[in-house]
Structure 1
Amino acid sequence: MASVEECRAALAKLVAQFDEIDEESRAKHVVERTVSCRVSDLGVLFYGRLHHGGLDPFDEQPPADGKDADVKVTIASDDLISLVDGELDLARALLGGRVKIDASFGDLLRLRRLL
């Protein structure tokens, strides 16, 4: 099991990876969404925001508006790190039940193109 700090570092790496996506792809596939990432084995919840400019850094503080996230991801700590490092395929992880994403079908398709 990875630590909270390792998960925080993995999410920071994910933010950096989103920064590398070209502007044309972001404009085509990104719509503004709030994102939560629940690390199931650690009982911690991170919040972020996806927008045309990229992905904002994740924080453990819930959004001030108190609304639920548009995209909710549930994943174990080791799987989060493997996913961000490219060792775990998102589609296989979803089909295998290792990752759960609660989002609209359109949001799922957009995320698949970006990850």
Structure 2
Amino acid sequence: MATKEECRGALDKLSENLAGADGEVSRAAGFDRTLSCHVTDLDVTFTGRLADGVIEVADTVAGPPPGRAQIRLAMTGDDLVALVAGELNFARAWGAGRVRLEAGFRDLLRLRSLL
């Protein structure tokens, strides 16, 4: 089972990947939205923003998200680490119910090129 530190590291790596992206991925990530990522097996939530292609984690709280972020993710820590490492396909994990993504329709359209 992935630790809280490994999950935070995965989010940092994802942020680095987005910051270094170009083309369509860069344009898709270049918006400003609140973000939460609930790691279900650890029952911890990372909260922050996706702004200009960078994920800024502002806080880590115990339990489910304290508020309703504009983009909400939920998955196990192992799945988060595997997704960022490229070992788990997002679409398959989402289709199998291993990853939950909630966002407004317009945000989902923009995020699809990131995932």
Q: TM over 0.5: same fold?
A: yes
Q: What stretches of structure 1 move > 6 A for 4+ residues in a row?
A: none
Match of 2:111 in 1: 111
What CA distance in whole angstroms lies between the structure 1 residues aligned with 2:44 and 2:80?
Answer: 13
Partner of 1:71: 71
- Over aligned residues, Cα RMSD in angstroms? 2.1
Relative to the length of structure 2, the TM-score reads 0.83
* Alignment match, 1:16: 16
Aligned counterparts of 1:83 and 1:95: Cα–Cα separation in 2 = 14
Unaligned runs of 5+ in 1: none
More divergent stretch after superposition (16-25 vs 76-85)? 16-25
CA contact (8 A) 1:35 1:72 kept: yes
- Distance change >3 Å, CA 53–CA 95, structure 1 → 2: closer
Q: Higher strand proportion, which one?
A: 2
**Structure 1 pair 69–3 and aligned structure 2 pair: CA distance change class (3 A):** same
Matching residue of 1:84: 84
TM-score with structure 1 length normalisation? 0.83
Q: CA deviation at 1:31?
A: 2.4
Q: Distance in 2 between matches of 1:85 and 1:28?
A: 20
Count of aligned positions: 111
Secondary structure at the counterpart of residue 113 of structure 1: coil
